[in-house]
Chains A and B, each alone.
Chain A
Amino acid sequence: MKFSPSLQDLIDALRCLPSVGPKSAQRMTLHLLERDRDGALALATALRHAVEKVGHCRLCRNFTELEICELCSDPKRDATVMCVVETPADVLAIEQSGSFRGLYFVLMGHLSPIDGVGPAEIGLEDLQQRVIDEGVAEVILATNPTVEGEATAYYVADMLQPLGVGVSRIAHGVPLGGELEYVDGSTLAHALSGRRLVD
């Protein structure tokens, strides 16, 4: 049996979502049309609205509907500390920890030559300009502790240090509730080399 063209279009369109294959797309389509037409309309409106309205913050590059996002324009945030992260999800994670009151810069990726991502793609010039313009005193590099994240952190540190900005890297170590026995060697090595005096 062949689906009508509009139905097939919808199935094909849904496959743009990550980890949605032909079968899942078909199931979603049939569900929307059979049982939840209101939901489908709401989804369509929300999608259109988000795609048309949401852009990148001029300052931190995070997603926002405004020119400058709420975080960047919040006067209560400490504008002398800036945290550099890879993705908007990282901003959420750090915000939820409630331990950081400064501003963010979202790279939207990391340096990865094999994927063709270079310094220009992750907006490092904007970062440099912003650090100069806003007189940031400390930049915290919170890129992921992967090889690409480390390479990115090194590149950014090398770019910012001559400007006289303090550059720090988040600590790596044993997770809370973890057990040393099961922690891998390189994490443990990081934890040991980054040890602190007990105070």
Chain B
Amino acid sequence: MEIWDVLGLLFVFLIILVIAFFVFFGPISFLISMIFSRRKHRKMIDDVMDRVSSTVNEYGRDPLTNKKNPSKNEQISEAKMIQANFVVGPGWWNQWIASWHTLFGGNISSFDDVLMLARQDVLQSLRDQASEGGFDEVVNVRLESARISYLSAKSNKYIDVFAYGTAIKYANSNLSD
């Protein structure tokens, strides 16, 4: 056999591999997404909720409020703006389901999970920052979400959730740390 025959065979084999990759990549990824997506999001939500309850226990209450003014009318020693963000990808399965729901309408429960995960996570980041900095309370908390798109508006629907607020420390703080 000539060297060129071997090279030709190799080339054909490579082309078949590349075609197979492009043909099967979509369906296999979709299957993976279908099986693992919801489980992964649920697990992440459970993790966040655990962290939320531990911080709330530490404070004895939720330190975040969206009221404009501090809850106690005491002297304040420090005020600082804190912020957190979280970009979440809903996964192919959720995007596919959502696209079907636009035909029939109705509540897209799997998408609720994704957004809830992102919101709870940013709020928990604010709580973490407040607790690390020794702040007593975070007032005027605002949540915002935006869709950030990549290359084409059709393909991926990444969602950015952003939260910010003003962390305050009272002059006679009752926190131990």
Q: Do A and B come from one complex?
A: no
Q: Which residues of A contact B (CB under 8 A)?
A: none
